[in-house]
Structure 1
Amino acid sequence: MPEQSKSHVTVLGLGRMGAPIASAFLDAGHPVTVWNRTAAKADTLVARGAIRATTTAEAVEAGPLVIAPLLDHAAVRQALGPTAALLQGRTVVNLANSTPDHARDLAAWAAGHGADYLDGAMMALPETVATPEGFFLYSGSQRAFTRYRRELDVMAPAHYFGTDPGSAEIHDLALLGTGYAALTGFLHAAAVLDPVGTAPEAFAPLAARWLHGMAEFLPELAREAGESAYAGGVSTVDLNRAGVDSLIQLSLTSGIATDVHEPLKALLDKRSADGHGQDSFSSVFELLRPRDTAEHGTQSAGRPGDGHR
């Protein structure tokens, strides 16, 4: 049987992520229409076979799948506003920086004009687009995710988190929070080592090795938190209290801000004072989770699935 023709893809915005996304679709053999406010940014892609649209309406009209890796929610609404009458039967994939409420707002607006909507969060850098190192999160129309799964995977491995359009943004922010904590911890460590002459570049390989081990510990941490099973942990609250206390004391004697680790110290102190010093470090989760969940053991109805499951 002859190979099925590939979907025409429209990419609105050719910034740091838009250009490599459009390039990835060209590499995969898709017809691609591109639009950018500064038209010259499309020159390289047009030379490779992309079609340049002079307006967003022209770009949207070109095909059934419209991908918008623009800066933010306002930029997407501004770009799509003039195209409202053309959205009927099309799928809009919003990859802009957004909030859960903005995603839900745009989904309702798109649905009001007859379009399917997927909200996406790009956990990737420009150089990891179309590689296994990057991955994108999606939520919104399950029909759209199923229909265009192959196209979404062209950009990066795709993971689906349910029909609530805001869910991808919530998971995106959770991942960002995980990363920010690790990166800020590294910068604090670099400050601690600066007085003894250890350069950040020299310390980075050791930190990366340590973080790799931490990552391997995450499934066990997740199991304990998910099951509220904190007895018998190898890394207890009191053991970590001692470590954090020592780190804070070293910071103080070195004239370094302790802002990074004081919140953790407060959590560990409270957990120990409440009689849970011998519980696993993961039991700090009980002080962080929503109060009604922590007090009554309730769980949100249904967990969104991983798109690769």
Structure 2
Amino acid sequence: MTANATAKTPVTLLGLGAMGTALARTWLAAGHPLTVWNRTAARTEPLVAEGAKAAATVADAVAASDLLILCLLDDTSVDEALKDADLTGKDLVNLTTTTPAQARERAAWATARGARYLDGGIMAVPPMIGIPEAGGYVFYSGAPELFEAHRQTLAVPAGARFVGADPGHAALHDVALLSAMYGMFAGASHAFALIRKENIDPAGFAPFLTEWLTAMAAPHITQTADQLKSGDYTTNVVSNLGMQTAAIPTFLTTAEEQGVTPGLLVPYFNLMHRRLAEGFPSEDLTGVVDLLLR
């Protein structure tokens, strides 16, 4: 082991799926002593060949390092893996995908067992890990002092962004961004369906769709945030709710003509109609956000 490696924080990683394996390789490449454990032990073998140490048991893995990273299937998997582990004095960073409530419960659980806790939400897919120019990063929330203590180590695989002391906020940011992503994918799917039966090359259509979504997304998101913060949904409105709602029949009729179900759009259109019926024709679309709250 080189002097450079011994100077780096030792890391224990539990979970070697596609994401866990990608994370492991970046810490190894950066010279961090790495101990790995996976329920299917064979997955540790390629990493051992690259310099990692495989732990035969979770207890051995936990004992190997003060910094313990979890990248397991779900919250239940965390329970199963750590149910008998001694976490006293450990720094536990949970990158397992969970809900905000599960993250808060896990933080209390870890504290009760003598560990400091950070929750994480990975905003990347495995091929983006270890490649800074790919733009991937991880949201972290929980103990601020723990984040500061391990900021450099945590930033090795992908950018590290701290979003507050509430342990649930990393998971909430994660799910919020992914929810927006799936909404965008839904709109793109509808757009491709509209042209599917026509003599239109999807590959030729794609740049138009990309350019349009790019041009519209940033201004809309920024303006929505500003209006929600101010409480005034009529500031700087370019296309008001009344005008946009009046155009809805065109979208629905076009879908019918093209033999496309409007099911991906109708729920949003219904909210627009509802907000208009409540008497807000001069607003932007921001009022829809309030209608979603239960």
Name the TM-score, length of structure 2 as normaliser: 0.91
Structure 2: give runs of 5+ residues left out of the alignment: none
Q: CA deviation at 1:272?
A: 2.2
1:277 equivalent to 2:278? Answer no
Q: CA deviation at 1:225?
A: 2.5
Partner of 1:89: 89
Partner of 1:255: 259
Partner of 1:58: 60
- Of 19, 39, 44, which aligns to 1:42? 44
Partner of 1:223: 226
Partner of 2:249: 245
Structural mapping, 1:25-36, within 5 Å = 25-36=27-38
> RMSD of aligned C-alpha atoms?
1.9
1:105 equivalent to 2:108? Answer no
Name the TM-score, length of structure 1 as normaliser: 0.87
Partner of 2:125: 125
AA aligned opposite 1:228: G
Alignment identity in percent?
Answer: 39
Residues 217-267 of structure 1, C-alpha deviation per residue, up to 9 Å, x if partnerless? 122232122212222411211232234331112112333211111122112
Residues 97-123 of structure 1, C-alpha deviation per residue, up to 9 Å, x if partnerless? 212222122222211110011111111
**Cα distance change of structure 1 residues 198 and 82 upon mapping to structure 2, 3 Å threshold:** farther
Q: CA deviation at 1:153?
A: 0.9
Do the aligned residues in 2 keep the contact of 1:32 with 1:50 (CA within 8 Å)?
yes
Residues 155-203 of structure 1, C-alpha deviation per residue, up to 9 Å, x if partnerless? 2111222222222112211111101100011111111111213344333
Question: Could you say what secondary structure the match of 1:67 adopts?
Answer: strand
Do the aligned residues in 2 keep the contact of 1:233 with 1:281 (CA within 8 Å)?
no
Residues 18-51 of structure 1, C-alpha deviation per residue, up to 9 Å, x if partnerless? 0010101011111111111222212221122111
> Which range moves more in the overlay, 199-208 or 253-262?
199-208
Count of residues in Structure 1 that have an aligned counterpart in Structure 2: 287
> Which range moves more in the overlay, 177-186 or 251-260?
251-260
AA aligned opposite 1:42: T
Do the aligned residues in 2 keep the contact of 1:228 with 1:283 (CA within 8 Å)?
no
Q: CA deviation at 1:130?
A: 2.4
Q: Distance in 1 between matches of 2:273 and 2:40?
A: 55
Structure 1: give runs of 5+ residues left out of the alignment: 291-309
